[in-house]
Amino acid sequence: MQPIGKWNMKTSTALILLIHLSLNTVDEGHAINPSCTCIRFTSTHGKERGTFSSPDYPRPYPRSTCLLYTFMAEPHQIVELVFTDFDIYKEHLDCIRGDYLKVYSEGGIHGPGPPGINEYSAWSRVLCGNRVDAPPALYSPGPFLVLELNSGEKASNASGFIGTYRFIDRRNFETDGVQIPDTGCDYVFNSQLNKPAHGRLYSPRYPSSYPSNVRCTYHFHARKNERIKIIFEESFLQKGDESCLNRADIIKVFDGKAATSPVLAMLCNEIIGYEILSTGPDLLVQFTANSNSPGQGFKASYQFLMDDKTSAENDNKKSSAPEAASALGPAVSAATSSCHQVFSSDKTSSGKLISPLYPAPYPQKTQCHYDFLARGRQRVRLVFEDFSLQKITGDIIDCESMDSLDIFLYVDGRLEKMASYCGSDIPKPIMSNGPKLSIEFRGIYSSRHSRGFKITYSFVEDYGISTGKQLLEFPCAFVFNSTDRTRGVMTSPNFPGLYPRDTECNYFFYGNKNERIHLRFTHFDVEGVVPCEALSASDYVQFSNQMIDTRSPRHCGQLKELLVTSEKDFFRVTFKSNDRLDGTGFKANYIFLGDSEMHKITMSSAVDGGPGIAAHTSKLIFWLAVDVILIILV
């Protein structure tokens, strides 16, 4: 593609159709290379939006075509393109031969055309395929953007594309903090009197793709008795469902001033509406991008909030007054049955929640709502001690038509029902996927046999995992060291209850020299379908002998028993869940064994578990021998 020169008049059937479909086309012409026809769209004279399409759309576009679409905004604007239909024949998987649509967004405006775009310019992305292969929207980092449509000689019935363009004010995406001098994207946010207590922050170039090889820091400093709430409204980094350990582009949120503070969150995939609450007046957001395929980035809002601890102390004083105690009744300190409650980790770390009048039957036409609010690294955990709701007789159990208890989580920024319980079977423990969880109790019928429910709630930071040493460098990570303990148990978060959604937990095993780690999974229920990928919305467990590894196979589904053995003295187990469906997770026995001890064990039916891992079908002879060694060690 040659530099764009003067815009000379040229007519063709395709061009006439383009002018008809794109009312805001200012003029047309051709590049220095006469085989590439150029169409230009500008925002002058108040024309800031319109449509564009491939030649002859919706009929197949012509073959051996080279066409440039140049969108030129004002200096303070950026270009937004949205494809309403997209069908470019995919002759090659890499989309850079045959038919393709290249996107250029470099350079600036100097004169009649963007001189920075020429045959040596690098495109930011190349597109082909159908609608699912095209991005929801394209944004330029600067005031102009160029599309290059190329079609090869091979015959095709692909209809091409049609879309809308818009020129929008780039100042709508400016971070509200104070930029640190001599830095590209480091900001400071200070809470001050007589200034807004809220604002916004963005990744570089947002909503266009962020550049590669950048590190940005966002420092938040609240006043005394304040904390910081951040909501990542949209975060689109690298596509896929890989572990954050394997990601070159990542957002880390630290609960303090420095990167040595405890990690509250690690975001590396696509996520919407993720909320974070600091435990104190300082918070640090660190965005690192080192991949060759940058995503759109993130947009987030922040707010400085008054700390609830002061109000919690006042509430405690009020609740200890005689009139308050008499109004609430006895045993209110041990359990609460008020029908509408908000439980905050600022006020208590755990407690009991009971239905109205428990253990007596709850009144008919009861409607109760309970909200749980955590902060920092905390998750909400519910353990059911008693559960007895009025059940309508019949073979089909439909909780919608009888008394029920509904659990709601916040998924992609919205309230979503996770589960509905009715009857008398005690539900498994529940854990939230973030700082919020809600309960709706509907007791319409009741009876003299309906005791209601009794629930222990707690705000936990350890994900309900009681073994291993928790690492503060990760939201959920645990270390198992041979020098501390040579054998033990490893479980998924919240086991034996349902594991939380949108959660990644890593388990690091460190053995002595010449030791290997052996895992025997006695319970394995991880929602998914082999090969346990994002395409099937699968959660998964992955094993690796390296800290960073994208090649190792994944495991999911319901397995009766699974044996896994490391090849080295280091072993990593990664558990990752998405925002759909749930399972009860896993429980595994682990043991560190030296090579000399391994020679004493006869292993049969060995099955290759993938690169770097030896996975073995369960046979009694192996673990019987291990049990003998365990007895000797004791």
CATH number of the domain residue 417 falls in: 2.60.120.290
* 154, part of any domain: yes
Mean pLDDT score of the chain? 83
Whole-number pLDDT of residue 11: 34
Q: What angle do CA 517, 522, 527 make, to 5 degrees?
A: 100
Contact 439, 342 (CB under 8 A): no
pLDDT for residue 119: 61
Residue 557 clears pLDDT 60, i.e. is over it: yes
If one compares 428 and 39, the residue with the highest pLDDT of the two is: 428
Q: 443 and 304, same structural domain?
A: no
Contact assessment for residue 223 and residue 304, using Cβ atoms and an 8 Å cutoff:
yes
Percent of the chain exceeding pLDDT 70 equals 80
**What's the rounded mean pLDDT across residues 107-117?**
42
DSSP class per residue in 21-50 = H-TTEEEEEE-SSTTEEEEEEE-GGG--EE
Whole-number pLDDT of residue 612 = 43
pLDDT tier at 322 (50, 70, 90 boundaries)? very low
Q: Are residues 167 and 180 in the same domain?
A: no
Residue 254 in domain: yes
With 50 as the cut, is the pLDDT of residue 610 above it?
A: no
How many CA within 13 A on the CB side of residue 95?
A: 17
Q: Is position 321 within any domain?
A: no
Cα dist from 228 to 234, 303, 340, whole Å = 18, 6, 26
Average of per-residue pLDDT across 510-522: 95
Rounded Cα distance, 281 and 227, in Å: 5
pLDDT tens digits, 350-394:
999 999 999 999 999 999 999 999 999 999 999 999 999 988 766
Residue 8 lies in a domain: no
In this prediction, residues 187-195 reach a mean pLDDT of 94
The pLDDT, as a whole number, for residue 34 is 44
609 φ/ψ angles, rounded to the nearest 5 degrees: -100, 10
User: Range of 564's domain?
Assistant: 469-633
First CA to last CA distance, the chain: 75
With 60 as the cut, is the pLDDT of residue 5 above it?
no
In the structure encoding, which two tokens stand for residue 110, read together? 């100097």
Q: Are residues 24 and 165 in the same domain?
A: yes
Do 437 and 491 lie in one domain? The reply is: no
Q: Given this model, what pLDDT does residue 189 score?
A: 98
Is residue 432 a part of any domain in this protein? yes
Q: Is 132 strand, coil or helix?
A: helix
Instruction: Give the pLDDT score at 105.
Output: 79
- In whole angstroms, give the CA distance from residue 47 to residue 74: 11
Same domain, 265 and 342: no
Same domain, 555 and 623: yes
Structural contact between residues 138 and 209, judged by C-beta atoms closer than 8 angstroms: no
Which pair of structure tokens corresponds to residue 176?
A: 């509200």
Domain identity same for 57 and 125 = yes
End residue of a domain, out of 252, 276, 308: 308
Helix, strand, or coil here: 492? coil
Give the range among 304-313, 320-329, 479-488, 561-570 with minimum mean pLDDT.
320-329
Please tell me the total count of domains within the chain. Answer: 4
For the chain, give the longest Cα–Cα distance.
Answer: 91
Look at residue 139 and tell me if it is in a domain: yes
Note the pLDDT tens digit of each residue in 31-69.
Answer: 324 457 888 888 765 667 899 999 999 999 999 888 999
Secondary element (H or E) of residue 297: strand 297-306
Same domain (yes/no): 19, 159: yes
State which of 171, 204, 228 marks the end of a domain. Answer: 171
- pLDDT category of residue 543 using cuts at 50, 70 and 90: very high
* Dihedral sign computed on CA atoms, order 139, 103, 56, 95: negative
In this structure, the answer to whether residues 378 and 434 fall within a common structural domain is yes
Let me know whether 441 and 573 are in one domain: no
Say how far apart CA 559 and CA 208 lie, in whole Å. 44
The pLDDT confidence band at residue 396, using thresholds 50, 70 and 90, is low
Sheet of 187-190: strands edge to edge? 178-179, 187-190, 214-221, 282-289, 249-254, 263-267
Residue 7, pLDDT above cutoff 90: no
Q: Does some domain include residue 196?
A: yes
pLDDT digits (tens, 9 = 90+) for 401-412: 899 999 999 887
- pLDDT at position 46 is 61
- Rounded Cα–Cα distance for residues 156 and 491 (Å): 54
Same domain for 497 and 610, yes or no, is: yes
Q: Which structure tokens are listed for 81?
A: 């393109």
Q: Would the pLDDT of 448 be above 90?
A: no
Tens-place pLDDT, residues 284-311? 999 999 988 888 999 999 999 998 665 5
Q: Is the peptide bond before 207 cis (omega within 30 degrees of 0)?
A: yes
pLDDT at 570 (0 to 100): 96
For residues 624 and 587, membership in a common domain is answered with: yes
Strand partners, 100: 150
Rounded average pLDDT over 166-188? 94
CA–CA separation, 476 and 463 (whole Å): 7
Question: Residue 572 falls within a domain, yes or no?
Answer: yes
Q: Is 45 exposed, middle or buried (0-12, 13-18, 19+ CB in 10 A)?
A: exposed
> Domain ends where: 148, 171, 194?
171
pLDDT tens per residue across span 479-506: 999 999 999 999 999 999 999 999 999 9
Q: What does the block give as tokens for 130?
A: 């159908």
Q: From 220, 222, 212, select the one nearest 186 (Cα to Cα).
A: 220
Higher pLDDT, 237 or 93: 237
Residue 419 has pLDDT above 90, yes or no: yes
Would you place residue 328 in the very low, low, confident or very high pLDDT band (cuts 50, 70, 90)?
very low
When pLDDT is cut at 50, 70 and 90, the band that residue 117 belongs to is low
